[in-house]
Structure 1
Amino acid sequence: MATLTAWKFDTPEGAEAVESTLLDLQKQELIKVLDAAVVSWPSEANKPRTKQLNDLTGAGALSGTFWGMLFGLIFFMPLLGAAVGAAAGALGGRMADVGIDDDFIESVKAQVKPGTSALFLLSRDAVVDRVKEAFPSGHTELIHSNLDREKEARLREVFSHEDH
């Protein structure tokens, strides 16, 4: 079963700083990263910066469309106003169809604010306690959502790269 996790860091640089830690954890077989992305939100910025971490992922990575839709729902839709309400509802429905519910989105939205960052991981076989121990102590918080096999398959069907 794949797991989508969001790890919140207390600094705008915190999430990007753990990329090498994740590579080490993969080598130790403590996690298999299927895809990853970072949100960095400097205190003075009006909106966060987002980046897919392609160096961590293999051939089964999702497209940037998935991350764009997820981050749009979490961070950018409230900025766009009521004119896109129907579009936001459609996006939210599409994410719910693949196992990412309103509770996950609202939890991330409430916790990732200016002055923080977040690492979003689609992973498998994670030893969560060991992963958490490897991240900077006292500055990391886990926001968690599991995807069952059916929802993972649906997620891949909707958002996976196409080889043509």
Structure 2
Amino acid sequence: MSDLIVIGYEERSVANRAFKTVQELEKAHVVDLGGLAVVSVDLEGEIHVDTPKKSEKTAVSATAGALWGLVFGIVVLTPGLGVVGAAIGGLIGKLSQMGIDKGFREKVQSLLEPGSNAVVIMASKMNEEKFAAAMQGYGGTVLKTSLAEEDEKELVDQLAGDAG
């Protein structure tokens, strides 16, 4: 089982520092990451995603691909934003089946208003006490949901199928 954690910040500099701290926590074996990113929404509403360098393990794993599918499925690919293709519709359906309910998606969307930032984390294992203590100084709004292993695999398979 993995946790999807979205921590919202008003300032990009704070999100960047939190992002670096999460990377340090992974190196210290406090958290086992499947994906990590800083998502920023500029004042025009355009979404920007920054990930660890490609040489780092979190950027090249299959689960990291699932994380970006989740981020964009939650934040961008929502019904009602215009024409939704069959592949995108399938991804949205998969997100709903996985227990990523509409309420959670709406909370993430409201967190990522223009001018805001978030650190998005997919973690398969975590020492929650040490993680919380390390992240406490950054503040932010924390949203969290869990994904079962079989749901993660199905999402990775769905995303691979959509890419081909």
Whether TM-score is above 0.5 comes out as: yes
Identity among equivalent positions (%) equals 26
1:57 aligns with 2:58: yes
**Structure 1 match to 2:37:** 37
Instruction: Tell me if structure 1 keeps the 8 A contact 2:8–2:141.
Output: yes
1:21 Cα deviation after fit: 1.0
**Structure 1 match to 2:5:** 5
Write out aligned runs for 1:7-156 (5 A): 7-42=7-42, 44-53=43-52, 54=54, 55=56, 57=58, 60-62=61-63, 64=65, 67-68=68-69, 70-71=71-72, 73-75=74-76, 77=78, 80-81=81-82, 83-84=83-84, 89-135=89-135, 137=137, 139-156=139-156
1:23 Cα deviation after fit: 2.2
Cα separation, 2, equivalents of 1:12 and 1:45: 15
The one-character-per-residue Cα deviations of 1:96-121 (angstroms, maximum 9, x if unpaired) are 23442222211101122123211111
Relative to 1, partners in 2 of residues 1:69 and 1:7: Cα closer, same or farther, differing over 3 Å?
closer
Give the counterpart letter for 1:153 in structure 2.
K
Relative to 1, partners in 2 of residues 1:155 and 1:80: Cα closer, same or farther, differing over 3 Å?
closer
1:69 Cα deviation after fit: 6.1
Cα separation, 2, equivalents of 1:135 and 1:56: 22
Instruction: Give the aligned CA root-mean-square deviation in angstroms.
Output: 3.1
Gaps of 5+ in 2: none
1:33 Cα deviation after fit: 0.6
The TM-score, its normalising length taken from structure 2, stands at 0.75
Q: Secondary structure at the match of 1:135?
A: helix
Cα separation, 2, equivalents of 1:88 and 1:61: 19
Gaps of 5+ in 1: none
Instruction: Tell me if structure 2 keeps the 8 A contact 1:70–1:95.
Output: no
Relative to 1, partners in 2 of residues 1:2 and 1:65: Cα closer, same or farther, differing over 3 Å?
closer
The TM-score, its normalising length taken from structure 1, stands at 0.75
Cα separation, 2, equivalents of 1:115 and 1:79: 22
